[in-house]
Amino acid sequence: MIIAVASGKGGTGKTTIAVNLAAAAGKSSRVNYLDLDVETPNSHIFLKPKIQWQEDVSKDLPVIDQEKCTLCDACAEICAFNAMAIVGNNVLVFPDMCHSCKFCGVVCAEKAINDQPFKIGEISGGNVDNLWFAQGLLNIGESSAHKIVQTLKNRVMVDAGLTIVDLPPGTGCSVVEGLKGSDFCILVAESTLFGLFDMSMTVEILRKLNIPFGIVINRSLDSGQAIKQYAEKDNIPILQTIAFDRAIAECCSCGNMIYHELPVYQKSFHDILEAVEELIKQ
Amino acid sequence: MKEIAIMSGKGGTGKTSLCSSLISIAQDQRILLCDCDVECPDLHLLIESGKVIETGCQYALKAQIDFQECLQCNLCVNYCQFNAIHDYVVSADECEGCGLCQYLCPVEAVSMKERIYGWWFQVETAYGPMLRARLDIGEQNSGKMVALLRNNAREIAARENCDFILNDGPPGSGCPAIAATSNCDLAIIVTEPGCSAIHDLKRIVELCRHFKIPCGVVINKCDLNEKCREEIKQYCSTEGIALFGEIPFRMAYPEAIANRQIPSEYNGEIAKEVLNIWQAIRMALMPN
């Protein structure tokens, strides 16, 4: 069973909910945990896994054999991403622009274009207690986050047991890529104007992908009224409401787990897991 | 004219709260607002917009296969690097529009069609012109949309004699974050005293250095964790990064937003703190 944790708006508590759900589920069985927020991954700060493996993620870049190249301009002409240009007696390749479509290699009459891997980030993983952990990290200055997400999922997605997936904020391609294949999605929403607006956009994605979902209202100040009205109107289950509590904010700011430091909240996380299981059965 | 980007790495540290408060404080200057968070734009929820001055849509090219002409030779399927063609149908969500399949097809069954992936708007607000966009759900082109918004912003700002362009940035460090900061005169990184925010702050500082953009830091909710607050200050001083100011945690922030008000207009203390930050920013931009 794969449970994804998403939000739309950033900073609503995705990672907080995801890591503490993992701790709760880890009480009784082994849990797999994937941090797919490859631009700013934070789960490792809380879970503190011992990293045991690491692999580079690369994209293929064209390399020009200047001996064979006749400067015919065919490659630069067909490149839909403006990643190649002839400057003087050289073909320049702009790595940031290249999508690795390999059109240039196909169109080159002199067979002067070869592929060379170019590192854009890495994936890594390890264990801690009952948890099997993996994460991705995009190199600074690189833009293809969804490629790291894809690689990480292809390499490690496990069907056995429970897998918890921590997603990035936003509604872009990394979120969609990360959500694919999930059995359920927990939407962590702040009961604010911004939280509601951004969550409603993530709801659109989930409907498009046909993934069942429920809401955890986090840091609620108005007992979650704004979100509750929206959820009721749209028939979306509310899995849990967690009130605003300075103790939680302080606990998380130190990189500590609510589940261990504030036991009064343990039941909330077990209840979320139970509610999700119940909803998936239906 | 100076371009400023408000960034954070970690989401929810208070980019939009600061951005809206700055524009309200700095009304003696002509500022163009540009909401560069095109996946989850929120700025317009606080800045009431008047009439739409101009709008336009953005297209991306996607391959399409004419089933009647297709020989099912599999050439396109085998060469597509994006795994976008299944049963001789192109999945527009996967297709990145390179055009290789069109080139390879022996019977010209593949054509490239324009698909709208988002809209941009120029609106007039009480605080001056604002640009914002709405990206279609799950689109790959958020960075491209941000780049387009910023190009339009520069044109309009030049035409309207603006002193500043203020970009409300997206979270993260990837494609849209790069597009929102590239070539800016200054990046303001909003952080908070917490392990996650500090981790992400360091990544954005790295990003700014990679693209050679001067940056400074604002510590929001600064009294939440004394130890982390000191760690941020220490980090800034070791790395030679300017600290533009600190903002204590106040319930007035969520209250202001719930009331659809700009925080600095809702609470006098916030106004004072943001004014100090604005002065520090101006000093950083004009050292002489």
Q: Give the strand pairing for A113-128 and A131-138.
A: antiparallel
Residues of chain A neighbouring B140 (CB-CB closer than 8 A): 146, 172-173
Give the residue from A166, A164, A183, A184 showing the smallest Cα distance to A174: A166
Confidence label for A155 from pLDDT (cuts 50, 70 and 90): confident
Question: Chain A: nearest CA to B128, how far in angstroms?
Answer: 22
Taking CA–CA distances from B99, the nearest residue in chain A reads A80
Question: Chain A: nearest CA to B112, how far in angstroms?
Answer: 12
Q: Do B224 and A192 touch (CB under 8 A)?
A: no
What would the mean pLDDT of B156-185 be, rounded to a whole number?
96
Which tens digit of pLDDT belongs to each residue from B14-48? Answer: 999 999 999 999 999 999 999 999 999 999 999 98
What would the mean pLDDT of B71-97 be, rounded to a whole number?
95
What would the mean pLDDT of B161-188 be, rounded to a whole number?
96
Residues 6+ apart with CB under 8 A from A117: A58, A59, A60, A61
Question: Chain B: nearest CA to A2, how far in angstroms?
Answer: 20
Give the residue from B178, B177, B93 showing the smallest Cα distance to B139: B93
Q: What is the pTM of this model?
A: 0.93
What pLDDT is stored for residue A178 in this prediction? 94
Q: Do B42 and A106 touch (CB under 8 A)?
A: no
What would the mean pLDDT of B77-83 be, rounded to a whole number?
96
What pLDDT is stored for residue A159 in this prediction? 66
Q: Do B199 and A102 touch (CB under 8 A)?
A: no
What pLDDT is stored for residue B138 in this prediction? 74
User: Is residue A32 pLDDT above 80, yes or no?
Assistant: yes
Q: What interface predicted TM-score (ipTM) does this complex get?
A: 0.92
Tokens (6 digits) for B253: 């922030």
Phi-psi domain of A3 (left: phi exceeds 0; alpha: psi -120 through 50; beta: other): beta
Instruction: Return the amino acid letter for A117.
Output: P
User: Is residue B241 pLDDT above 60, yes or no?
Assistant: yes
Q: What is the largest CA-CA distance in chain A?
A: 72
What pLDDT is stored for residue B63 in this prediction? 98
- When CB atoms are compared, the residue of A42, A171, A192 closest to B258 is A192
